[in-house]
Amino acid sequence: MLWKGILFFLVILAIQGPLRYLLPPGFGPPDLFLLASLVLAARVKPVWGLLAAYGLGLVQDLVGHGLLGLHAIGLAGAVLLYYGLQRWLGRHTLLQETLGLLAALLGQWGSYLIVAAWLRDGLITPHTLVTIFPLEVLATLIFFPLVQAFARWAFGELAVPEAQQP
Amino acid sequence: MTWRRLALIYLGLLAVSLMSTRFLPDPPLALSSGIAPITALTIHAAEVIHRDLRYIARQRTLEQNYRRLRRKYTALNAKYLRLRIQAAREKAAAQIRNLQSPGLVGIAQVIGVSTSPLLARLTINRGSADGIHRFMPVTVPQGLVGQVVQTSRKQAEVITLVDPRSRVGVTVPGLGGQGVAVGRPPGELEASFPTGLALKVGDPVVTDSLGGVYPTGIPVGTIAQVLPPPPNGILQHVLITPDVNVNDLEEVAILQAL
């Protein structure tokens, strides 16, 4: 069902910006590209997941007319930490999934910080970390189950590795 | 092993990103114009939804404000009515204190009237618990109503001046002479005065100290008819129209008994 997968990414692409209009003032939109990267990373081999996340981030940079490579490396960092935590904890329970998402957010913002330190142009300030980051974490956590459900419709259920089967 | 490989790939990608963010220009608009129709459509849809949601929220706020103001208006209106009634009472009480007697005990509401066509009595909502006792005069600013004849703890019965068993000492200001006015249902009094007084229709009649029940000078009524004197009589009789319509009272004032 290739068309479902394409539709999934088109919807993510289409509603990421407009979501800002529907949320209350001061409430940042969730990072749907991050959630899409994680959904994809959970379904493909890690190397491909990492590269796909980078590619998705490049699309986000192109669409957003921003710094080319900023969101790309953010999503790559997110997927890297997501894989790292998943390797230790697995992803069997809701708590593990949530911890994986939090690790991904840390990886994403950690990557942003590296790029910001490299650019030295005030891209990320302490004020940004205090105001935007918590709201984005909250919004992304809230939207996580919705995107997961959408991904189950688009890509099917996650395959359980043989080692984890009862 | 995979983790190390991933970390290496990440480092490579990081290097690419660091270079691209530093040295590459911002991506041209032409690259994003391909998806512009999609985003434009969804942005328009989101704007419409947002506007509708805001409209609904504003309508709800307006409705809540309307209900709140309506409740406030009702409460204030009730308060205004209470205050108006209280002000009317205070005004009446002040008039009674100034014009009739300073010994005002209180204001009572009329809660019942006599059902008999022969009697003219009222029941008021104050009794012995409020300091009401027998023989206390009952008035309104327009004039005398009667006197308390019986009390219970919370209520009292008032015999009005048009009751056939009512006796009120009266006089005509400026003429002198003392008379007794007896109630004549449904709405008159018949007063007897000593002969020799030049009584005429329209003369005002007020209370007198005769009988020791009422303070003097409280308006009772106006002479409506001077009856022909009986042969060899020593009293002359007049019919008095009371100043107070006792069938149309809502509140009365109770005065200290003499």
Considering CB atoms only, which of B10, B43, B50 is closest to A17?
B43
Query: How are beta strands B167-172 and B176-184 bridged, if at all?
Result: antiparallel
Alpha helices per DSSP H over chain B: 2-23, 29-32, 36-99
Alpha helices per DSSP H over B171-212: none
Residue located via tokens 């979501």 = A19
- Whether residue B86 is found in the same domain as residue B112: no
Count CB-CB contacts under 10 A for residue A39. 22
From B79, B99, B119, the end of a domain falls on B99
Which residues of B are less than 8 Å from A48 in CB distance?
A: none
Residue located via tokens 């009589």 = B233
Q: How many CA atoms lie within 13 A of A55 on its CB side?
A: 9
User: Is B11 inside any structural domain?
Assistant: no
User: Is B7 inside any structural domain?
Assistant: no
Q: What are phi and psi of B189, to 5 degrees?
A: -125, 150
**B206 is written with which tokens?**
């007020």
3-state helix, strand, coil in chain A (%, to 5): 75, 0, 25
- Whether residue B190 is found in the same domain as residue B126: yes
User: Is B217 inside any structural domain?
Assistant: yes
User: Is B16 inside any structural domain?
Assistant: no
C-alpha to C-alpha distance for A54 and A77, rounded to whole angstroms: 9
Share of chain B above pLDDT 70, in %: 93
State the pLDDT at residue B79: 94
State the pLDDT at residue A165: 41
Residue type at position A110:
G
- The verdict on a CB contact (< 8 Å) between A10 and B18 is no
User: Cα dist. A35→A82, A105, B23 in Å?
Assistant: 11, 10, 29
Residue located via tokens 């019942």 = B112
Share of chain B above pLDDT 90, in %: 30
CA angle, A39 then A43 then A47, to 5°: 100
Rounded mean pLDDT of chain A? 84
C-alpha to C-alpha distance for B19 and A68, rounded to whole angstroms: 10
User: Is B145 inside any structural domain?
Assistant: yes
Nearest CA in chain A to B5: A47
> CA of B12 to nearest chain A CA: how many angstroms apart?
10
Spatial neighbors of A156 by CB under 8 A, at least 6 apart, are A1
Rounded mean pLDDT of chain B? 86
**Spatial contact of A61 and A70, defined as CB atoms under 8 Å apart:** yes
**Spatial contact of A135 and A123, defined as CB atoms under 8 Å apart:** no
Distance of CA A34 to the CA centre of its chain: 1
**Spatial contact of B120 and B157, defined as CB atoms under 8 Å apart:** no
3-class DSSP state for residue B68?
helix
- Whether residue B117 is found in the same domain as residue B200: yes
Q: How confident is the model at residue B67 (pLDDT cuts 50, 70, 90)?
A: very high
State the pLDDT at residue B72: 95
- Whether residue B88 is found in the same domain as residue B208: no
Which residues of B are less than 8 Å from A81 in CB distance?
A: none
Query: How are beta strands B137-140 and B251-255 bridged, if at all?
Result: antiparallel
Total length of chain B: 258
- Whether residue B221 is found in the same domain as residue B123: yes
- Whether residue B49 is found in the same domain as residue B112: no
State the pLDDT at residue B31: 65
State the pLDDT at residue A162: 45
Interface of B with A (CB under 8 A): 2-3, 5-7, 9-10, 13-14, 16-22, 24, 26-27, 29, 31-32, 35, 38-39, 41-43, 45-47, 49-50, 53
> Which is more confidently placed, B44 or A7?
A7
State the pLDDT at residue B28: 67
> Which is more confidently placed, B246 or B76?
B76
User: Is B17 inside any structural domain?
Assistant: no
**Spatial contact of B237 and B188, defined as CB atoms under 8 Å apart:** no
- Whether residue B85 is found in the same domain as residue B115: no
Considering CB atoms only, which of B27, B42, B50 is closest to A61?
B27
Spatial neighbors of B128 by CB under 8 A, at least 6 apart, are B151, B152, B153, B156
> CA of B46 to nearest chain A CA: how many angstroms apart?
6
Q: Among A10, A13, A62, A114, pick the best mutation site for testing chain B contact (most B Cβ within 10 A).
A: A62
Which residues of A are less than 8 Å from B6 in CB distance?
A: 46-47, 50, 80, 83
Domain that holds residue B45: 35-99
State the pLDDT at residue A166: 37
State the pLDDT at residue B70: 95
The string of pLDDT tens digits covering residues B135-194 is 899 998 889 999 998 888 889 999 988 888 888 899 998 887 889 998 887 788 899 988
State the pLDDT at residue A33: 92
Q: What DSSP string runs through B91-117?
A: HHHHHHHHHT-S-EEEEEEEEEE---S
Question: Which secondary structure element, helix H or strand E, spans residue B159, and what is its range?
Answer: strand B156-160
**B154 is written with which tokens?**
């919370």
Residue located via tokens 């007896």 = B182
- Whether residue B59 is found in the same domain as residue B118: no
Which residues of B are less than 8 Å from A65 in CB distance?
A: 26-27, 29, 32
- Whether residue B114 is found in the same domain as residue B87: no
**A117 is written with which tokens?**
């330190």
Q: How many helices and strands in chain A, by DSSP H and E?
A: 7, 0
- The verdict on a CB contact (< 8 Å) between A76 and B49 is no
From B99, B124, B142, the end of a domain falls on B99
The string of pLDDT tens digits covering residues B41-65 is 777 887 888 888 889 999 999 999 9
The string of pLDDT tens digits covering residues A56-108 is 998 888 877 678 899 999 999 999 999 988 888 776 777 888 899 999 999 99
- Whether residue B60 is found in the same domain as residue B84: yes
- The verdict on a CB contact (< 8 Å) between A50 and B24 is no
A21, pLDDT greater than 90:
no
- The verdict on a CB contact (< 8 Å) between A22 and B46 is yes
Q: What DSSP string runs through B168-180?
A: EEEEETTTEEEEE
- Whether residue B53 is found in the same domain as residue B163: no
3-class DSSP state for residue A14?
helix
User: Is B4 inside any structural domain?
Assistant: no
State the pLDDT at residue A129: 83
A114, pLDDT greater than 90:
yes
User: Is B118 inside any structural domain?
Assistant: yes
From B99, B120, B135, the end of a domain falls on B99
* Count of domains for chain B: 2
C-alpha to C-alpha distance for A50 and B141, rounded to whole angstroms: 97
Total length of chain A: 166
Considering CB atoms only, which of B17, B20, B42 is closest to A14?
B42
Q: What is the CATH number of the domain that holds B184?
A: 2.40.10.340
- Whether residue B167 is found in the same domain as residue B188: yes
